[in-house]
Structure 1
Amino acid sequence: MLYIEIHQLRTKRLRISQIARKLKISRNTVYKYLNMTFEEAVEEFGTIERKKKLDPYRDWIVTWLQENPSMSGAQILDWLQEKFPDLQVGESTVRRYVKEMREIYQIEKTDEPREHEAVDELPPGKQMQVDWGQTIQKTIDNKDIKLYFIAFVLSHSRQKYMEWQDRPFTTKDTIRCHENAFRYFGGMTEEIVYDQDNLIAVSENAGDLILTKKFQAYVNERKFQIYLCRKADPQSKGKIENVVKYIKYNFAAHRIFSTIGDWNEKAWNWLERTGNYKVHQTIKKRPYEVYQLEKKHLRKISSPLSLTESNPIEIITRNVNKDNTIRYKSNRYSVPIGTYTKCSTVNLQINNEKLIIIEPTTGEILAKHTISLEKGKLIKNTNHARDHTESLDMLKQRVLHLFPTGEASRQYIDEICQRYKRYRRDQLLILQRVAENDPHWIPMALEKCIREKLYSANAFQDVVNYLKLQESNPILEIQVNSTKLVSSIAVETRDFNTYIQRMGGKTNE
């Protein structure tokens, strides 16, 4: 029947790709049937039954695919091995068989959609979004070159700016491009949205962001707020994601590269001609016209930068994988669950046959492993298992039980949860750990934090550490009165003739 359908559609002058899409089969299958006569098709598929290794499991596979169209060949193999432990078959064999079953039974692979919610338009001067991208271009010598760019967009007007380099960006390059963008826009916004890029951020740190040293100094200088997107959540910065694609496929595609200066000049001309001039499909206005109104709301930049260069310290780092492991010499080594969400990189220290994994910002030792001489192994500590934590409400109640009874504790914890909505669990876990480790200091720390309005789990932890240090070093308590103590001490004095005699001289006596 498939042979007949293909030839009938071909007689209707449908192209090969159209036939393949309509029948949900591959183009190679269409070519194969078109090149056969009816007799050849009958001889190959009608009289000779070619048995395949997975035919005895055909009903299982087809049923799984019909119930779960998004299943992959790898998952089908796993389910087969789980149900039939003695089955020996290669993954590529399963993939080919699954592909054939999809074509025969017309089961199209589908992806489970992610639900999104439209967000309100932001007011003028409120937010800017920033991201990086790269392309491969042809040079005038017909060679390939990789180019890198950073893009900026004002969230209200969609006014854009970009800058290109023929080498990867450094933190210094990023700061320079920020300054150029601020000059181009005629000011800066209150908030800037970034991805979790290693050029600017080290860790989310439960909401108290830890930035790279150079970029933190820059933020302190320019005094703007940072919104750091969660990992694997590009939708939270959708405006700049669209700008990056727009730059790649409207400006850069098919363009010939000569020099980086010429390339940037063409890019800025494109912004004036197209990127900021054409009507935006969402706001239905020209970004340049809306920008003329928005730039009045931007914060002006007047003073030049006073940042100084510092010598970077060479360290050995590794990225933390999503499964909370790091790679070292073809093996994977585990770190405590939750490390991936807190810091993207860690430091490695090799001590004889031991691998020591260190949190870069605090110096805390996260894990110790014996280095394996094999390859492709997972070396995992037994205490690095997943902690199935309770719900946020239950966690909050657990923390409250560890704090002094009263309304002050509840109000303090509620205020922290309100200020760090995206990081409530992280903040509560820090409070829980501090309260369990140092219960004696919690009442005094709570009183001091409320009095000085320190509403942060990290700040609370610092206050506890300060109180402990103050007790272990009593000298800190009397430093305030040190002037009075010194002035009340009587100093012994000697007669001047004593010093003359010691030096062998004669006295007046």
Structure 2
Amino acid sequence: MIHKIKSMYDNGQGLSIRAISRELNISRNTVKKYLAMDAQGICVMMEDTSRQKWLDGYRDYLINQLKDYPKLSAVKLMRRLCRKVGKLPISERSMRRYVQNLKAEVAVGQYRYYEPIIETVPGVQCQVDPGELRGVLINGKPHTVYFVAFVLSYSRLMYVGLSLQPLNTQRFIEMHDEAFRYFGGVTEECIYDQTKLVVLSEEYRELKLNQRFAQYATAASFHIHACEGFDPESKGKVEAAVKYVKQDCLYGESFRSETELRAYTLDWLNEVANIRVHGTTKEQPQRHYDRSERSHMNHYHVAMASLDNTPMQTRKVDKTGLISWASNKYSVPMKWQQSRVGVSEANGQLLLLDPATGELIGQHTVSLDKGLIIKNRDHYRDKTQAVEALEAYLNERLGIDVGRAIAAQLKATMPRFYKDQLRGALDVLKHYGELPTALTAHLLEREELTASKMREYIDAWFSAEQRGRMADDEEDSPVTIDLSMYRRISHVNAQRSLS
């Protein structure tokens, strides 16, 4: 405060004493006193531990709180004190310094929270982690509160689901439903540690998922991303959130009922957790979400009441690729012919699932009629063979190395429409014929490549050549094609397949 006053005054060149007094909300006499002090006088005053501090009047109360709840943060102590005495004429920084000294006296330490900075984009990832806190007083009796923290990786908006019973799959799903409704949408993926609620087992990063939860994830349209075992750092935002919930929300509180606990937690989310200025983003999570992420969230349309809580059923697929369901027959992708598939009905949709992983392999609208054969023509096409054939044609036209590199660029740019992009690229090559080596090298240098962009690049190249902008001997000069981009793209695709 003293140094701030002196810098604002700036030896008479800055603000006036009256302006400083008004700006800092202190008396003019205090401003004059500090301005009159030299450096030695300031040091003597700062070292004088006997001088009165504003919080000394509440010292006994603060010590009593720290003895009962030694892990209380300075920020939460400040909120408690505000509820008792009204607005405090001190800053959070002053409160932290004062509480730090008190904690040293009562010989306790305060945990620090560490969060890794991870580059993310809005609407893509939600990090999820269960936690529990024992000894929470509800109606005068200690209970263990089981909770799940949900944190949006981009905006850091948080939701907390609660239970007084150990979590099972059904309650875990219900908490997801609550979280997505609170957020007003669902992210593209949710990231988890290897809890049995999500992953039953793992070997060589091959995951056996909880089928019931995988079915819900499929219906809700988000991808399950399970962290490698014993790797908490990859989910640091949530690891910090779990500690935050324990120590700032629940620790040191008591409740008359479970209903009051839930209401308190929701108020804490809306009035504390999601409106505080986040230490990493330097923004309030709720405001950051409303401004930058809400519009990027996917629509959440799963009705919990319609999610069947019975185990997934299985059906044998006959040699024509059909299964029986409710007096009708439905087609299944041809690779599953004469094997067993998982079947579940939700929201009027018949979901066809991989029985081992719960992954969605097909879907039909359930018919209310009887005795029908309902087919999806795509189920009788081997798309893998079609893609492999197109890749082979591309390799034949461009050579194996260049063909694979171009294919990798197309796949990295538009993975969902890779087959269409291959077909488009072949049409372009068929139209232009053999390409100059220098032009091929130019295509490989593009960070993103689609069939339409490929056509534009080739058009521009030949147009420039016709206008005489290319050197006459350029085609004759040797050109080395850098295939390192292909290796990089292949590495990225490999990483995506693992996730």
TM-score, normalised relative to structure 1: 0.38
Kindly name which structure, 1 or 2, has the bigger radius of gyration based on alpha carbons.
Answer: 1
